[in-house]
Amino acid sequence: MVIVGAGYTGLWTAYYLAKADPALRIVVLEAERAGFGASGRNGGWCSALFPVSSRRLASLPGSSRDAAIELHRAMQATVNEVGLVTAAEQIDCDYHKGGTIVLARTPVQLARARAEVARSHDWGPGDLRFLEPDEVAAKVRATKVLGATFTPHCAAVHPGKLVRGLAVAVERLGVTIHEHSPVHTISAGRAITSYGVVRADVVVRATEGFTPGLAGESRAVAPVYSLMVATEPLSAEVWDRIGLADRPTFSDQRHLIIYGQRTADGRLAFGGRGAPYHFRSRTKPSFDRSPAVFKGLQATLRELFDLSGVQFTHAWGGPLGIPRDWCASVGLDRGSGVAWAGGYVGDGVSTANLAGRTLTDLILGRDTALVRLPWVGHRSRRWEPEPLRWLGINAGLRAMTFADTEERLTRRESLIARWMAPLIGG
């Protein structure tokens, strides 16, 4: 087996394949270092979130309401699976399952939160709870809180520690990882690198936001940048003001996504969308940094919490992969032996583990519940050619910002967001 990409998807696939059949010869090829991409730079939410709604999943060809709910349950179980494996393999990644709290801080957001809880009872096991302001304060003390939703199905992790620890674990199992070995073409039985051709019975594409750099894949996913900032370690006095004692990950109900966590070393790590998509799906190290976005993230976090006197010490970013229909997928073309997984839209920390287990079952020909989940074999249509792709994606990103502004000014649900919802997984 040859796996292209040493992020979560590639390494989890290698891990489960090696555990299932120690006789397999497995090679992982990585253009940079293991975990260089989104796997090492994300917000550390190991959650049960899937990028499209259960309603959308149920509408996929061959899917159903029950199948969509089963995928939701599989995602919940995956959060626990990551914790079990990291403990068994002694991967010190600061795993702590404190759930996720999503704040409602305007009347419009409050209505959205209540509706989301109602939908969760219609389309799943009903584990999402609505919290009144006093219940929210027991978990986190933010400003202007009118309520929140809470799910227990999320763990905070240190993403870099997780991916590097996973690389060590797979090497212990006999997997070979070749770093600094960029692949430019994947085809039946071959991964073509800058140094030669690696031949294998199965080739797994696990390249997420860097997929457009492969020959013939320029329109497969759109690499969209998400950026983060982190504070200095906070004092006990500041933490008394903020809460987050059980380290729940946190967000709010705005349209332009934000995400944060209290790290094991006592910092606030906080990120969000807003950086532009770059023409022709380009990815460059310079795109990881945007002073304007960093400044906006700092301002947002200060507006959420009382951070008087707190300094920000770190800022970084990187690309994530967005398919045209926002639906992540995993699959194996048995004719060519080419397998793939990705398109997580930023929800990949746990989804990549589910992908690794599913790819293992597909490759080994196992008939399991995982290979019957509705995302298996799904094919998103390709993104439009440029300049339509650049215009459309950046217009969508700008529209989410306008939608939040519209709701603040009108105190009504945004018409822009309602129009955009079917296009972005709603």
Q: Give the pairing of strands 222-231 and 312-322.
A: antiparallel
pLDDT category of residue 424 using cuts at 50, 70 and 90? low
d(CA 357, CA 12) in angstroms, rounded, equals 7
Sign of the Cα pseudo-torsion (119, 120, 125, 128, in order): negative
**Dmax (CA) of the chain:** 63
348-385 in b/e burial notation, b at 16+ Cβ within 10 A?
A: bbbbbbbbbbbbbbbbeeeeeebbebbbbbbebeebee
Cis check for the bond before 387: say yes or no (omega within 30 of 0). yes
Is-contact 163 82, C-beta < 8 A? no
Whole-prediction pTM value?
0.97
Q: Is 200 exposed, middle or buried (0-12, 13-18, 19+ CB in 10 A)?
A: middle
Q: Look at strands 129-131 and 2-4 and give their pairing.
A: unpaired
Structure tokens at 417: 């967001």
Residue 140's DSSP bridge partners are 243
- Given CA atoms 40, 49, 323, 334 in this order, what sign does their dihedral have? positive
Contacts (Cβ under 8 Å, ≥6 apart) of 380: 323, 324, 325, 327, 329, 343
User: In this predicted model, what pLDDT tens digit does every residue of 330-353 receive, in sequence order?
Assistant: 999 999 999 999 999 999 999 999
Specify the pLDDT at position 419.
66
**In whole numbers, what is the pLDDT of the chain averaged over residues?**
95
pLDDT tens figures, 140-171: 999 999 999 999 999 999 999 999 999 999 99
